[in-house]
Structure 1
Amino acid sequence: MPPTDGVEPTDPTRASGDVPADAATDWPLRTDRLLLRGISPADAPALQRYYARADVARYLLDDPWDADRARAEAERRTGRLRLDGPPRAVNLAVEHEGTVIGDIAVWMTGRQRGEAEISWVFDPDSGGRGLATDAVAAVVTQVMDHGPVRRLVARMDARNTRSARLAARLGMVREGRHRADWWIKGEWTDTLVFALLPTDPRPRRSETERSTG
C-alpha cells in the first residue's frame, strides 16, 4: 500500500505491463502558478525541508529524513521521466516562485495494461492556496489525456484526510477501504483506494485552482 503522500514501496522499473507508446514525456510542465520538472540531486535540501517534518512523515512509509536520506532519494528519483519505457515512472518536483514545495510520482504498476499509481507529498507551509490541487491536476491531465494511463490509482492511509479530500477534488472515485492491511510504524492501518478512468468527470482547471488544498 503506497500511501498517497509518499513514494512507491516497490521499484517501478520492475513493472512489466504492456503500455502504448504515446506515454507522457512532455516535461517540464507549467501551470499559471507552478513549474513541474524532473528531480535532480540539487533538490536534496529542498526535499529534506519537508520530508524531515514529523507531521509530513506521519502517514508515510518513511521516518523523517536526514540529509543522507534526502541525498539518496534525490539521486534515486533523478531522470525518471518516462512511463512508456524504463523506468516506467515519473518523479517531478513542484516549484512555486522558484521554491520546491512538493513532489509527485507516477508509475506504471504492471498489473493491468495502462494502469498506473500516483502519489504526492507537499510542504504543509505551502497549503491553503490550492497549489497541491493545481499541481496534481496538471499531472493527471498530462498522463491520462496525453499519455498511456487508462486507469490511475491513488492509495493512502485512511487517516490522511487531506489527501483523501484532494483525490476527491480531482474527480477520483473512492473504490474501497482495506481494513488493517498495512503494518506501518508499529500499527496496522487502513488503506483508502481512489481511482480515475478517462470517462470519469473531472473538474475544470479554474475549479481546482479555487480549492484550498
Structure 2
Amino acid sequence: MPLPLPIATARTTLRPFTDNDVDDLLDYHARPGVARYLLEGPLDRAGVIAKIERHKTQIGLDTDARAVAVAVEYEGSVVGDVGIWLLDETNERAEIGWVFSPEVAGKGLATEAVAAFIDAVFAHFPLHRLEAQMDGRNDASARLCERLGMTREAYLREDFWSKGEWTDTIKYGLLASDRTK
C-alpha cells in the first residue's frame, strides 16, 4: 500500500514527484558540490527527468519498486528529496537517503522533513530497522543522522570505490523502538 501523501510539517510538504519538478531538482542536482558525496555525478536535465520518472514509481515498500521517494517542498519550490528502499527479503530493514539544496542549509528544514518522513514510514510499514550510510567526509549528513536520533554504528575505512578513489563509509541505524523512547 502506498505511503499516504502529502505529509505536512510546520514549513514543508512531502509529496510525490511531478513532471513540474524538473527545474527545481536541476537547480541543486546539477551542482558538483551537491553531488560530491552521492554515487552519481552532477545531473543534467535528462538525468533529472529520468530520476523523477523513477521516483514517480517509488510509492511504497510493498510495491514492485520496494521503495518510497518524496519531494520536499518549501515556499512553493522543491528543495530536497528523500527516499527509502528495502535492503533484504525480510521487508523489515530499509535504507534512507536524502539530498537537499544548499540554499536551505542551516534552516532546520532537512531535520524537520526527514523526521516527519521517518515517523510516517515507521507508522505505515512494519519496519524493524532503518539505516543510513554515507561517505565518511559527509559531515552534514552525519550531523543530520544524529539530530534524527540515529546511532552511529560503524566507520569503515576505505571500503568503497567511488568516483576514482577509495572512500570511507559511516553507518547509522535507527530501530522502530527508538522512535517510541
In the TM superposition, what are the counterparts of 1:105-120 in structure 2 within 5 Å? 105-110=83-88, 112-120=90-98
Instruction: Count matched residues.
Output: 181
Distance 2:135 2:90 in 1: 23
Segment of structure 1 superposing worse, 52-61 or 192-201: 192-201
Where structure 2 has 5 or more consecutive residues not aligned to the other structure, the ranges are: none
Q: Is the Cα contact below 8 Å between 1:83 and 1:148 reproduced in 2?
A: no
SS at match of 1:199: helix
Q: Structure 2: how far apart are the matches of 1:113 and 1:74?
A: 24
Please identify, of 41-50 and 30-39, the stretch whose mean Cα deviation from structure 2 is larger.
41-50
Which TM-score applies when normalising by structure 2?
0.94
Q: Distance in 2 between matches of 1:132 and 1:202?
A: 21
Amino acid at match of 1:182: F
Cα distance in 1 for residues equivalent to 2:11 and 2:76: 10
| Map of 2:164 onto structure 1 | 186
Aligned pair 1:158/2:126, yes or no?
A: no
Alignment of 1:27 with 2:5, yes or no, is yes
Q: How does 1:27-46 map to 2 (within 5 A)?
A: 27-46=5-24
| Partner residue, 1:207 | none
Counterpart of 1:19 in structure 2 is: none
Greater shift in the superposed pair: 103-112 or 122-131: 103-112
The Cα shift of 1:61 comes to 1.1
Give 1:149's aligned residue. Answer: 127
Letter paired with 1:128: G
CA shift, 1:33, in A, is: 0.8
Secondary structure of 1:27's partner?
coil
Is the contact made by 1:151 and 1:195 (CA closer than 8 Å) also made in structure 2? yes
The structure in which a higher percent of residues are strand is: 2
Structure 1 position 81 matched with structure 2 position 75:
no
Give the number of the structure with larger relative contact order, counting CA–CA contacts within 8 Å between residues 6 or more apart.
1
Write out aligned runs for 1:118-157 (5 A).
Answer: 118-157=96-135
Displacement of 1:174 after TM fit?
0.6
Moved over 4 A (4+): none
Distance, in Å, in 2 between the alignment partners of 1:183 and 1:189 is 6
CA deviation digits over 1:26-81, x for unaligned, max 9? Answer: 11111111110011222122111101111101101111111111111111211311
- Structure 1 gaps, min length 5: 1-22, 204-213
Structure ranking higher in helix proportion: 2
Q: 2:73 matched to which residue of 1? A: 95
More moved, 151-160 vs 173-182: 173-182
Q: CA deviation at 1:201?
A: 5.3
Determine helix, strand or coil for the equivalent of 2:95: strand
Task: Give CA deviations for 1:137-194 in whole Å, capped at 9, x if unaligned.
Answer: 0011111133222100000001000000000110101110111111111100010000
